Amino acid sequence: DLVAEVSVAEPFVYADSDGPRVTVVDFGTKFNILRSLSERGCRVTVVPGKSSAADILATRPDGVVLSNGPGDPMSVPYAIEATRELLGRVSIFGICFGHQILGLALGGSRFKLKYGHRGGNHPVKDLSTGRVYITSQNHGFAIEAESFPDRDVVITHKNVNDQTVEGLAHRVLPVFSVQYHPEASPGPGDSGYLFDRFVERIRRPA
């Protein structure tokens, strides 16, 4: 469990505002995820990776971000269970490790890549538009595309080089995720629209 070595020990408020309330589950989050949410007017609370669903919901989030982090997602069953309990109760955006946690919570399985994806130049195709984005990646596991028992789970993005899953969504539940890093720093910045999409989804009426 590498998450236990890098996650915060106690919850804290990173940015206070009157905007949408976003709770980031810290599996080893990059600070630019927090900055990206703060720049879009969100009130950002960070909670430990071991937080239960009840702990997360106690922060009264409009949306939850499952952050990036190190290691095998199967090593943190508590995170998978907490995410499973959140499904249908709050909007969720998973990033990298958080994408894998969401995939496992939705009933999928993971496998270890023969060659991990590292660096800032991985081409990823958005299957809904056909557009290819150059992305920053750092992971050694991937979600198995054919492993989902729920047919409402949709593969939204694929890696152009090896066709591995790079994005998930659900036709009914308000959840989506990407395997890469939309927050850049370092890396390309053209996937920042994903934060816009998430914030628009959870924004409370004025």
CA distance 80 to 52: 10
Among 42, 122, 139, 183, the active-site one is 183
Q: Among residues 122, 134, 138, 139, which one has the least CA distance to residue 190?
A: 134
The two beta strands, 91-95 and 43-48, are unpaired
Q: Which one of the listed residues 99, 122, 139, 181 is annotated catalytic?
A: 181
Q: What is the dihedral of CA 133, 189, 102, 155, to 10 degrees?
A: -20
Q: What residue has token string 């309330």? A: 21
Residue 183 catalytic?
A: yes
Segment (H or E) for 25: strand 21-26
The candidate with the shortest Cα–Cα distance to 177, out of 186, 165, 159, is 165
Whether 122 is catalytic is no
Nearest-angstrom CA–CA distance, 102 and 73: 10
Q: Is 42 a catalytic residue?
A: no
Catalytic residue, chosen from 42, 96, 122, 139, is: 96
Structure tokens at 136: 């920053």
Structure tokens at 180: 């890469």
Catalytically annotated residues: 96, 181, 183
